[in-house]
Structure 1
Amino acid sequence: MTAILPGSTIGILGGGQLGRMLAMSARSFGYRVQVMDPDPSCPARFVVDACFEGPWNDTRAAADLARGSDVVTLEIEQLSLDCLDAAAKYAPVRPGAAMLGIIQDRILQKNWLRDHGLPLGDYRAAESEQALVDAVTALGGRCFIKSARGGYDGRGQVKIGFGELTGTPEEQAREAWKLLGQRPVVAEKAVALEREVSVMVARRPSGETRSFPSALNHHENQILVWSVIPSGVPPALEKQAQELASAIADQFTLEGLLAIEMFVTTDGKLLVNELAPRPHNSYHASERACVTSQFEQGIRAVCDLPLGDVAVVQPAAIVNLLGDLWLDGDGQQRTPRFDLAMAVPGLRLHLYEKHSARKGRKMGHLSSVGATPEEAVARVLEAEKKLKQG
C-alpha cells in the first residue's frame, strides 16, 4: 500500500460534529479537507476547504467530492451505498460499501456477528407485525425494539415491558410496530447490565490494527450522557474486549475506525451490542486521555499511515451538551453559563457551531481530566451543573 501523505486532500461524507473534528485533526497534519453534507452550514463547513451540498443519497455530490480527493472516509451510517460506489470510482473509500451495507442494517449486522461467533444477547428479527408479536413472546416480553435501519441517539427505539407502553406484551408489540413505522425491526431481549463499555479499533489498509482502552459509558433514554477512559473493568474483561474488537476489525478487513458497543452483564459476561464504522461519541475523551485521539487515529488509518500510540496518559471524561441547556423553562433561548463551568479544574469546552438548539440535539461536550476516572467524571458533571445556573 502507498501512504496518502500530508498535503493530499481528504474527503469526508458527512459534515456533522464528527466530520468537523476529523477535519480539524486532518488540518493539523497539513491535509486539505472537503466534506459532503445536506446542510451547507454544517459544523464542518467552518473548518474545511470546500463543502458539497447534497442529501445522503446524492451520488453526483459524492462523486464530485471524490474527484478532488485522494481518499474518502465517512462520519455517518445513513449514507446510501450508491453514494459510496459513486465516490469509489474516483478515490478509495474507507471504510467501504461492503462493510457499511452490513452495519447500517441492524438485522444484517446482528446476523453477521452471530455467524462469526461473536457473543450476543438473544434477539429476533421481525419483518411484520405478527412476527414482532411472536418475537416479543419468545424473548419473554421485556425487550428493546429497534428499527432495522436508521435511528440514532435513542430515536427509532421502543421499550416493551418497562412501563413506557401500556397493555399486554402482545399489545405493546403491536403498538411498537406502529410507532416504528411498520418496517423491519430487531427485538432484543433485555439483559441484566452491570455496565456499558465501548472499544474503538483502528485498522489501516496495510493491516496494522490497534484498539483503544475501553471506555465506560452512561446512558439515559438511550442517549449517551457521559463517558470516561479508562473504563476500569477487570483486566480479564478488558483483554476479552480488546480481542473481540480486533477480531471484528480483521473479519471485516476494516479500513478506518470501528466502534464496538458492548454490555457487561451482572454475571460477568461480555456481549456485543452494536457497531459504528466511524468516530464515536464515547471516544471524544480520547483527545484528553490518550496519546493519540480517535480523530487523529482515523486520519492515520484511512491514509495508511502508521497508527498512533493509544496508551492512556491521564483519565478523562466527557459529558454531552444537549440543546435543552440552551432553552429555559418556557422554551426560550438562553446562554449556558460557560464561564462558571470553565472554572472547574481540568475542564475544557467543545462546541460544534450548530446554529439552532433543540431538545436532544448534541450541541457540544465538556471534557475534563482527573487523577482517577472517578475524579474526571465528578469534575465534568460538576461543570455541567454550573452551566444551568443563572
Structure 2
Amino acid sequence: MTVIPPGSTLGILGGGQLGRMTAQAAARLGYDCVILTPEEDSPAARVAREAIVAPYDDPAALEMLARIADAVTVEFENVPAGVLEILASHIPTRPGRMALETAQDRIREKAFFNTVGIDTAPWRPVHTARDLRAALADLGTPAVLKTARLGYDGKGQIRLEAGSDPAAAWEALNTDAAILEGFVDFSMEISVIVARGPDGHMETYDAVQNIHTNHILDTTIAPAPLPAGQRAAARLMARNAAEALDLVGLLALEMFVTPDGHLLANEMAPRPHNSGHWTLDGCVTDQFEQLVRAVCGLPLGLTAPTVHEARMTNLLGESAADWAAILSDPTAKLHLYGKRAARPGRKMGHVTRLKPHM
C-alpha cells in the first residue's frame, strides 16, 4: 500500500464547499491542496495552495494536475468518469472509476444495490414514453420519475399520480434515460457515511436522521432516533456497499426507514456528504479528515461521537446573514463557505448545535 505522507500535495476535483472543507482538513494534517474546477474564485480555491481553472476534461489541466499533485480525490460525483482513469494512470486517484460511474447513473446505482443484496424501492429503467407507460402499469401510482443522471436536491424529478399523462411527463423531463420509482411509505430518512482505506479497513459513522424541506436537506440529527440494532443494520449496509465497490475514500448511503423498520437504499455518493457536516464538531475524526486519511493511505481515525447529540442545520440563501445571532448561542458552531453571492436555496453555510454528554 502506497502512503502519501504529510507534506505532499492533494488534488481535489471540484471547487465547492466540500472541496473547501476537505482542503482545510488536509492543511491540518500538513498537506497542500490544488483544486481543479471550472469556477473562477471558488470557495475551495481560496483555502488551497493553487487552483487550476479549466473544464474537468481539459487535457492540459489534467496533465498539470497530475504533475503537481501526489494523489487526487473528488468533492462531487459528477466529474466525467474518464477523467479519473486518465489521472489514475499517473497518480493514486480515489475513489476509482467504478464507484463514480455507479453513483452518477441512477439505473446503474439501483442495479448495483439489488445485485449486492441491498433492498430498494421498486423501480424500472425508462428510456421512452412507451417504457414509462409499461413501468406505470407495473408499479402503479403514485410514483416518481427521475432522470438517470445529474438530478439532485429535487431537480430532475416528476411525481406521477393516477391521472398523470405519461407522454407529457416524459417530454417535460427532457431526457433519454430515467427511472420510475415506486412510492415508498417511510417513517424517516437516514444516512450513514463509511470510510474505507486502501487496505480495506473501514470506519463507520453512526446513522443520522435527515429532514428535508423542498427536497433540500434542512436538518441532520445525530444520532438518528432509532433503536441501536437498526442503526447497526444501516451501518452494515453502507459497509457492504463500500466493499462491493472496492471504494477507497468515503461513501454516503441514504436510506428510507419504513414504518415496519425495514431499510431501503435510496442513493449513494462516493464523497463527503452534507449529512456528515455534524462530524466537524461532534466526532473524534470528522468526515473531511477521514477522507484525507483514506485517500493518502493513513490510518483511519475514530468515528466515535464526542457529544450526546448534534443537530446540523443548513444555512440557505440570506439565512447566513444571521451569523451574529448564531454566534451568540454558546452551543452553536458556525461554518460559512465563503460564497460571494447568496441566492435562494444556495447552501451558504451550516450551523451545528451540540448537546454535551451529561
Q: TM-score range by the shorter chain?
A: over 0.9
Query: What's the counterpart of residue 27 of structure 1?
Result: 27
The structure 1 residue matched to 2:349, chosen from 352, 364, 381, is: 364
Q: CA deviation at 1:324?
A: 4.9
Q: CA deviation at 1:122?
A: 0.5
Query: What's the counterpart of residue 69 of structure 1?
Result: 69
Instruction: Answer yes or no: is 1:121 the counterpart of 2:121.
Output: yes
Query: What's the counterpart of residue 320 of structure 1?
Result: 314
The structure 2 residue matched to 1:262, chosen from 255, 277, 287, is: 255
Query: What's the counterpart of residue 207 of structure 2?
Result: 214
Question: What letter is aligned with 1:351?
Answer: L
The answer (yes or no) to whether the contact 1:58–1:83 under 8 Å persists in 2 is no
Query: What's the counterpart of residue 168 of structure 1?
Result: 163
The answer (yes or no) to whether the contact 2:157–2:173 under 8 Å persists in 1 is yes
Gaps of 5+ in 2: none
Q: CA deviation at 1:348?
A: 1.8
Question: 4+ runs of 1 displaced by more than 2 Å?
Answer: 55-60, 173-176
Query: What's the counterpart of residue 190 of structure 1?
Result: 183
Q: CA deviation at 1:159?
A: 1.8
> What is the distance in 1 between the residues matched to 2:322 and 2:92?
44
Matched length: 357
> What is the distance in 1 between the residues matched to 2:62 and 2:154?
28
Alignment of 1:31-180 (within 5 A): 31-161=31-161, 168-169=163-164, 171=165, 173-180=166-173
Secondary structure, aligned partner of 1:249: helix
- Label 1:183 to 1:42 Cα distance change in 2 as closer, same or farther (>3 A): same
Alignment of 1:243-258 (within 5 A): 243-258=236-251
> What is the distance in 1 between the residues matched to 2:107 and 2:232?
28
Query: What's the counterpart of residue 299 of structure 1?
Result: 292
> What is the distance in 1 between the residues matched to 2:126 and 2:209?
31
Higher RCO (CA-CA < 8 Å; seq separation 6+): 2
Query: What's the counterpart of residue 285 of structure 1?
Result: 278
Write out per-residue CA displacement over residues 27-47 of structure 1, whole angstroms, 9 at most, x where no aligned residue: 011101001111121110110
Instruction: Answer yes or no: is 1:239 the counterpart of 2:226.
Output: no
Question: What letter is aligned with 2:163?
Answer: T
The answer (yes or no) to whether the contact 2:147–2:175 under 8 Å persists in 1 is no
The answer (yes or no) to whether the contact 1:229–1:286 under 8 Å persists in 2 is no
> What is the distance in 1 between the residues matched to 2:109 and 2:257?
20
Secondary structure, aligned partner of 1:33: strand
TM-score, normalising length from structure 1? 0.88
Secondary structure, aligned partner of 1:193: coil
Query: What's the counterpart of residue 325 of structure 2?
Result: 340
Question: What letter is aligned with 2:335?
Answer: H
Question: What letter is aligned with 2:241?
Answer: I
Write out per-residue CA displacement over residues 226-267 of structure 1, whole angstroms, 9 at most, x where no aligned residue: 102111211111111111111111111110000000110011
Gaps of 5+ in 1: 162-166, 327-335, 373-390
Q: CA deviation at 1:19?
A: 0.3
The answer (yes or no) to whether the contact 1:57–1:83 under 8 Å persists in 2 is yes
> What is the distance in 2 between the residues matched to 1:294 and 1:99?
18
> What is the distance in 2 between the residues matched to 1:53 and 1:132?
40
Secondary structure, aligned partner of 2:158: strand
> What is the distance in 2 between the residues matched to 1:281 and 1:55?
24
Question: What letter is aligned with 1:356?
Answer: A
Q: CA deviation at 1:62?
A: 2.6
> What is the distance in 2 between the residues matched to 1:183 and 1:15?
29
TM-score, normalising length from structure 2? 0.96
Instruction: Answer yes or no: is 1:355 the counterpart of 2:355.
Output: no
Q: CA deviation at 1:317?
A: 1.5
Write out per-residue CA displacement over residues 73-118 of structure 1, whole angstroms, 9 at most, x where no aligned residue: 0011111122112212221110011221121111011111111111
> What is the distance in 2 between the residues matched to 1:182 and 1:253?
30
Secondary structure, aligned partner of 2:66: helix
Write out per-residue CA displacement over residues 355-390 of structure 1, whole angstroms, 9 at most, x where no aligned residue: 122111111111110148xxxxxxxxxxxxxxxxxx
